[in-house]
Amino acid sequence: MDGVGEQTGEREGTAAGLNDTLARLVASLLVVRCSGHLADGQRRYPRWELDNATLQRLLSAGVGGVILLGGSAAELRLRTRQLQDWAATDLLLCADVEEGVGQRFEGASWLVPPLALGRLHGDDPGAAEELAERYGRCSGREARALGLNWVLGPVCDVNNNPANPVINVRAWGETPATAGALAAAFVRGAQAEGVLCCAKHFPGHGDTASDSHLELPLLPLSRKRLEAVELPPFRAAIAAGVSSVMTAHLLLPELDRERPATLSAAVLTGLLRHDLGFGGLVVTDALVMEAITAHHGAGEAAVLALEAGADLVLMPADADAAMAAIVAAVEQGRLKRERLEASAERRRLALASLQGNSLAPAGSVAEACPEPLGSLAAAGCRATDASEPLGPLSNGPISADQQLALELVQRSLLHQGGRVTLPAGSPGAAPAINLIRVDTALGCPFLQPTAPALTRATAAGFRTVVLDGWSPSPWRIRPAAVSDPGAQEPGVAAPVTANGTSIATDGPLDLPRLGEGPVLLQLFVRGNPFRGSAAGREPWEAVIRQLQASGRLAGLAVYGSPYLWESLQPLLEEGIPAAWSPGQMPLAQAELLTALGLGTPAGRGDGFTD
For the chain, the residue count is: 610
Asked if residues 151 and 104 have their Cβ atoms less than 8 Å apart, the reply is no
Give the β-pairing of 65-69 and 30-35: parallel
Rounded to whole angstroms, what are the CA distances from 96 to 77, 285, 370, 545, 568?
16, 11, 23, 38, 31
3-state class (DSSP) for residue 463: strand
Rounded to whole angstroms, what are the CA distances from 228 to 176, 233, 235, 393, 419?
8, 10, 11, 41, 44
Residue 549's pLDDT is 96
Cα angle at 490 between 488 and 495, to 5 degrees? 30
* C-beta neighbour count of 479 within 10 angstroms: 10
Burial readout 511-531 (b: 16 or more C-beta within 10 A, e: otherwise): beebeebbbbbbbbbbbbbeb
* C-beta neighbour count of 321 within 10 angstroms: 16
d(C-alpha 186, C-alpha 170), whole Å: 13
* Amino acid residing at 269: T
Q: Where are the beta strands (DSSP E) in 203-352?
A: 244-247, 281-283, 313-314
* Amino acid residing at 404: L
Q: Give the residue numbers marked as catalytic.
A: 213, 285
Question: Cis omega (within 30 of 0) on the bond before 201?
Answer: yes
Contacts of 8 (CB under 8 A, 6+ apart): none
* C-beta neighbour count of 357 within 10 angstroms: 8
Q: Give, as one character, the DSSP assignment of residue 383.
A: P
d(C-alpha 198, C-alpha 246), whole Å: 6
Residue 320's pLDDT is 96
* Amino acid residing at 286: A
Q: Give, as one character, the DSSP assignment of residue 200.
A: E
d(C-alpha 482, C-alpha 459), whole Å: 42
Contacts of 13 (CB under 8 A, 6+ apart): none
d(C-alpha 334, C-alpha 327), whole Å: 10
Backbone angles phi, psi at 260, to 5 degrees: -65, 165
CA 358 to chain centre: 31
Farthest-apart Cα atoms in the chain, separation? 106
Cα angle at 494 between 489 and 500, to 5 degrees? 165
610: buried, middle or exposed (CB in 10 Å: 19+, 13-18, 0-12)?
exposed
d(C-alpha 97, C-alpha 110), whole Å: 9
d(C-alpha 318, C-alpha 386), whole Å: 40
Question: Using CA of residue 432, residue 533, residue 199, residue 326, what is the dihedral sign?
Answer: positive
d(C-alpha 547, C-alpha 435), whole Å: 12
DSSP-H helix ranges across 309-429: 319-331, 337-353, 374-378, 399-412
Residue 606's pLDDT is 53
Cα angle at 160 between 69 and 256, to 5 degrees? 80
d(C-alpha 204, C-alpha 208), whole Å: 9
- Residues lower than pLDDT 50 in the chain: 1-16, 357-384, 426, 428, 481, 485, 487-492, 530-534
Asked if residues 533 and 439 have their Cβ atoms less than 8 Å apart, the reply is no
d(C-alpha 541, C-alpha 569), whole Å: 9
Q: Which of 197, 151, 146 is nearest to 366 (CA)?
A: 146
